[in-house]
Each structure stands twice: as C-alpha cells, then as structure tokens.
Amino acid sequence: MINWFPGHMNKTLKQMQNDSKFCDCFVYVVDARCPKSCINPEFVKVCKNKPIIFVLNKADLVEKADIEKAKQYFLSLGHFCVSLNAIVSGSAKIIVSEIKKVFAERIKSNKEKGVNFILRAMVLGVPNSGKSTIVNNLCNKGRAVTGNKAGVTRSKQWVKIDGNIEIMDTPGVLLPNFERDDYAYNLAFVGSVKDEVLNLTDVATRLIARLNEIDCGIIKSKYSVDYDKNTRNIDILELVGKKRGCIIRGGEIDHERAGKVLLTDFRAGKLGRIILE
C-alpha cells in the first residue's frame, strides 16, 4: 500500500481547521484526471458545511465529456464546480465569478448598506493539484511558490484579489490512510505522491494495467509496441523501456527508468486525454 503522510501534513490539517473559522468558502482544487481520488475526508472537518467550489484543474488533459460528468457529480452533491487549466493566463477568473455568484445576495446587501466587507476563501487540495498555480493566476503574479511536484507549498499565504476577495493558499494534504488502493495509485500516477517514496516499477506496471483497461491501444500507439492480453505488465514496461533506450549494462532494461519515462509521459498528457476513474 502507498502511504505518505509526513509530519507537516498533520500540522497543516490542524492549522487549516483553526483558520477555517475565518473563511466564508473553500476553493477545493482536484486533478481532473482523478477527481474522486483527490477527495480527502479529513477536509470535512475543515470546511464545516460552508460552501465548497470544486475546481477541476488540468482539464485540458481530459476529454470534455468526462469533465462534464465530473462536474455533474460534484453538483449532485450540492457543491459548486468549475473546470480550467490553471497554466493558461486568466483562466482562474472563473473562480472569482463563481465566488461572487455564491455570495450574490450578501454582496448586494452589503453594497446597498455601504458596508465595506471582505470574502475569504481557503484554497485546499492534495499535493500537485495546482493550488498555487491557481493563486498566481488569480493575482497575475508569482505570489505563491509553485512547482510541478508534490509538497512545494509549506505555509499559508493570504492574497487579496478582485478588491473584496481574499484567498489563502495552503500546503497539499493527503489522507493519513488510504481506504482504497486504486485511489492511492491514481494519486501516484498524477504526481500527488512524491516519486521518491514510491517503487516506480510497481506504480508504472499498475498504470499500464489501468491504461489497458481503458484502451489497450494507448500504449501500443504511443510507443509503437505490440502485445496481447496475456502479456505481463512488467513485460510491457520492458517493451517501453527498450523503445526509449532505458538499457543498462548487459542489455537489460532499467525498469525504474522505464517507469519514470511512462509516468512522465502520462503526466504531461502525451498519452492522450485520459480520466482514470
């Protein structure tokens, strides 16, 4: 089982619970490729029945029809939901519009009374979901630290946007314990779990199995390899490794390196627009 819950995540959860009383709503960022896997039950204690706006980030990596199905899922639960690709300049403005829509009556009432008010939203999600990129997008400058790997943001940061709206970026937090093995691996596939704590050969062969369930032509087409339904996942990984030159002394395939190649290609969207759930 995958299990990565370093000490700072537990500390972050407690801090988020304390800060949540100052928040009016929550911007919950999930990876569009595995939105359900990104849901952390511990965040229920943080959100405390306040409005949640789910953001399906990296939507460019998933087919539009699948994005719409994911949206309907969150809407059916009584939440709000938008989709975007946070690396596109200005794309996060839809979040501001959604916050204003959620609090339309309060905004109107305060304006009529001439009351100066601030709406505060906490941005939360699993590591590497794109939270800090969204914060930067919203304020049009690099105010929050970002990185294309898990565990970059380590402290809270309040940022004022659009006059009367403030948002707070928070470090990514995973589940203390994964109840579902498939959800844990989905998060490993998309890079929400640090590669350094993973057996990349194991993760890559699991990804091969999942991709073949979705469409057995995905890997064959990308790497120009051929195999049948009885071919072992490790053998398919070796075919990929051979094609990509992941060979060590003696002509053997470097499984770890081949796994890294496969995972990197998947995360970059080079295998196509794929939703894992």
Read off the CATH number of the domain in which 206 is found.
1.10.1580.10
CB atoms under 10 Å from CB of 276, counted, come to 23
In-domain check, residue 179: no
Question: Residue 250's pLDDT band (boundaries 50, 70, 90)?
Answer: confident
In-domain check, residue 194: no
Q: Which domain, by its residues, includes 138?
A: 7-169
Question: Is the per-residue pLDDT at 153 higher than 50?
Answer: no
Q: Is the dihedral of CA 68, 207, 6, 45 positive or negative?
A: positive
Same structural domain, 51 and 146: yes
Same structural domain, 42 and 145: yes
Question: Residue 143's pLDDT band (boundaries 50, 70, 90)?
Answer: low
Q: What's the full length of the chain, in residues?
A: 277
In-domain check, residue 108: yes
Same structural domain, 140 and 207: no
Mean pLDDT of the chain: 90
Taking the model in full, what pTM does it have?
0.89
Q: Of the candidates 165, 60, 186, 61, which has an alpha carbon nearest to the alpha carbon of residue 107? A: 165
In-domain check, residue 192: no
State both tokens at 169. Answer: 């970026």
Same structural domain, 37 and 160: yes
In-domain check, residue 185: no
Q: What is the dihedral of CA 49, 51, 56, 57, to 10 degrees?
A: -110
Same structural domain, 85 and 209: no
Number of structural domains found in the chain: 2
Assign residue 76 the CATH number of its domain: 3.40.50.300
Same structural domain, 80 and 158: yes
State both tokens at 94. Answer: 């839809």
Average pLDDT (148-168) is: 67
Same structural domain, 112 and 218: no
